[in-house]
Amino acid sequence: MGKDPLSDKEITARLAELPGWGREGDTITRAFGIRYHGGVAMIVNVADFERLIGHHADIDLRWDHVRFRITTHDAGHRLTAADFALAARIDRIAAAHEAQPHNA
């Protein structure tokens, strides 16, 4: 998956395709409302996928939500196509766990 940094225009276009994700500097973030143990299960599914692709999000688990923050560390902490592909997969995993949008 592409590890070249994206331009601001490309980032804006890709974010438009991922409702719920927002940009914070050179990261994209999203939080999902889910109870603690459901969040643990969701994180395990995400981690299994991340291990396969060799690309990982920073994950913050709380009692009522999980927050993901994604950037490409080996591209100088810049946003790449790999980040948006991971975000899309996280969305599918979250939907399978019936996680809801959350404002964290």
> In the chain, where are the structural domains located?
8-102
* Cα three-residue angle 58-74-102, rounded to 5 degrees: 25
What is the reported pLDDT for 104? 64
The 10s digit of each residue's pLDDT in 26-42 is 999 999 999 999 999 99
Separation CA 84–CA 88 (nearest Å): 6
Q: What CATH number labels 8-102?
A: 3.30.1360.20
Report pTM. 0.95
Q: Is the pLDDT of residue 1 over 80?
A: no
Digit-coded pLDDT (tens) for 51-83: 999 999 999 999 999 999 999 999 999 999 999
Q: Both tokens of residue 94? A: 């979250």
Residue 58 and residue 47 in contact, taking contact as beta carbons nearer than 8 Å: no
pLDDT higher for 103 or 68?
A: 68
